[in-house]
Amino acid sequence: MHEADLVLSGNWRAAAKLISRIECGDESVTPVLQRLYANGARLPVLGVTGPPGAGKSTIVDQLIGRCRASGHRVAVLAIDPSSPITGGAILGDRIRMAAHSADPGVFIRSMASRGRLGGLAAAVGNSLIVLDAMGVDRIVVETVGVGQSEIDISRHAQTILLVQTPTGGDHIQAIKAGLLDIGDVYAVNKADTVGADRMVSALRESVEFRCGRNGGESWQPPIIKTQAIDGTGVDELIDAIEAHRRHFVAHPEQLAQLLRSQARALLIEQVTEAMQNRYSQHGGELERLEGWLDEIIARRCHPYAAAWMLLHGREPGSIPIIQ
């Protein structure tokens, strides 16, 4: 059977092998991915993000448990789970994940950004195509939050769960800076520790400010206190995630707009990455770049015109054409 058909028929071993090839930067996966992309389930992706140690994995673990109780099969992609800040929690993650990995209805895959070849962004996007095609009911991606990750989860997820904790003025600063604007649902986790209500009201203020700008038909992000360690608040959290999913069913034009802006961001990201690769490798392209640098330094050509010339493959020294 063709590799793509194996994945589409629900062969998770074939899916796992394909993801390994994606991670190695094996370009022969392209036609396989093409087929999976055309024939996948088009499931919405839940992105779980937030600062290191906020309890993202513990929440994901609870979500997996609830999914399984409803008979759903679930795939989880954890990006760079070995965060140096919460090194101590990794072992805990592994033990919990190990419990689920024995479950044939759960597929868990970790992806590290360090020490790898090729672009992480493309590896994540391509792996999500595989997860979408392998016959699960839910897809979850865990990433370390805003500003700390190479991966911008808002390009991949249709629902973003932003996990916060009560502690740390840093988070309040982040709210003020608008860094937390991306959440569709907020969890204030570790609600058993002091300051949870203060965090909830700070988030509420920021969400109300943002939604005030967006108008009536827009989604109002709920803020839910959770204690992931014992499951308190997790049912409510799942209800909020499902409600966001139904919001898109009721407002298909909003979903269409989101999907288009995500596709645009991905395309531009990949073009930018390809350009960077093109000029970082030795050879003709790098030489041309260096040549244009000489032109800029010598003030024979200004940087913006040089960029245009470089993009159009003009040799250094040719007369700048300014568009």
Q: Which does 320 bind (CB under 5 to 8 A by kind): Mg ion, ligand GTP, none?
A: none
Rule CB under 6 A: say whether 166 interacts with ligand GTP: no
Reading the block at residue 117, the tokens are 């070849």
Least spacing, CB of residue 226 vs ligand GTP, in Å: 6
- Helices 12-24, 120-133: axis angle to 10 degrees equals 170
Least spacing, CB of residue 144 vs Mg ion, in Å: 8
> From CA 19, how far away is CA 17, in angstroms rounded?
5
Radius of gyration of the chain (CA): 22
Among 16, 229, 266, 296, binds ligand GTP (CB under 6 A): 229
Rule CB under 6 A: say whether 86 interacts with ligand GTP: yes
Rule CB under 6 A: say whether 144 interacts with ligand GTP: yes
> From CA 206, how far away is CA 176, in angstroms rounded?
8
Least spacing, CB of residue 239 vs ligand GTP, in Å: 18
Q: How far is CA 43 from CA 110, 139, 159, 180, in A?
A: 20, 7, 11, 25
Q: Give the x/- contact pattern for ligand GTP in 40-79, rule: CB under 6 A.
A: ------------xxxxxxx---------------------
Sequence-distant (6+) residues with CB within 8 A of 220 are 207, 211
Nearest position to Mg ion, beta carbon: 57
Least spacing, CB of residue 83 vs Mg ion, in Å: 7
Sequence letter at residue 37: Y
Reading the block at residue 144, the tokens are 């370390």
Rule CB under 6 A: say whether 126 interacts with ligand GTP: no
Rule CB under 6 A: say whether 158 interacts with ligand GTP: no
Stretch that binds ligand GTP, among 1-9, 68-76, 222-230, 290-298 (CB under 6 A): 222-230
What is the size of the binding site for Mg ion (CB under 5 A)?
A: 2
Among 7, 19, 50, 57, binds Mg ion (CB under 5 A): 57
Q: Looking at residues 245 to 304 of the shown chain, list those that interact with ligand GTP (rule: CB under 6 A).
A: none
Least spacing, CB of residue 191 vs Mg ion, in Å: 18
Stretch that binds ligand GTP, among 23-31, 37-45, 122-130, 185-193 (CB under 6 A): 185-193
- 112-121 long-range contacts (CB < 8 A, ≥24 apart) are 112/80, 112/81, 112/82, 113/79, 113/80, 113/149, 113/150, 113/151, 114/80, 116/23, 117/24, 117/25, 118/23, 118/24, 118/25, 119/273, 120/79, 120/150, 120/151, 121/150, 121/151, 121/269, 121/270, 121/273
| CB of 89 or CB of 175, closer to ligand GTP | 89
Cα dihedral 219/220/221/222 (nearest 10): -130
| CB of 141 or CB of 228, closer to ligand GTP | 228
Rule CB under 6 A: say whether 93 interacts with ligand GTP: yes
Half-sphere CA count of 267, side-chain side, radius 13 A = 6
Sequence-distant (6+) residues with CB within 8 A of 125 are 155, 156, 266
Q: Answer yes or no: are the C-beta atoms of 316 and 289 closer than 8 Å.
A: no
What is the size of the binding site for ligand GTP (CB under 6 A)?
A: 21
Among 20, 25, 150, 192, binds ligand GTP (CB under 6 A): 192
Q: Which residues bind ligand GTP (CB under 6 A)?
A: 52-58, 81, 83, 86, 89, 92-93, 144, 189-190, 192-193, 227-229
Residues near Mg ion (CB under 5 A):
56-57
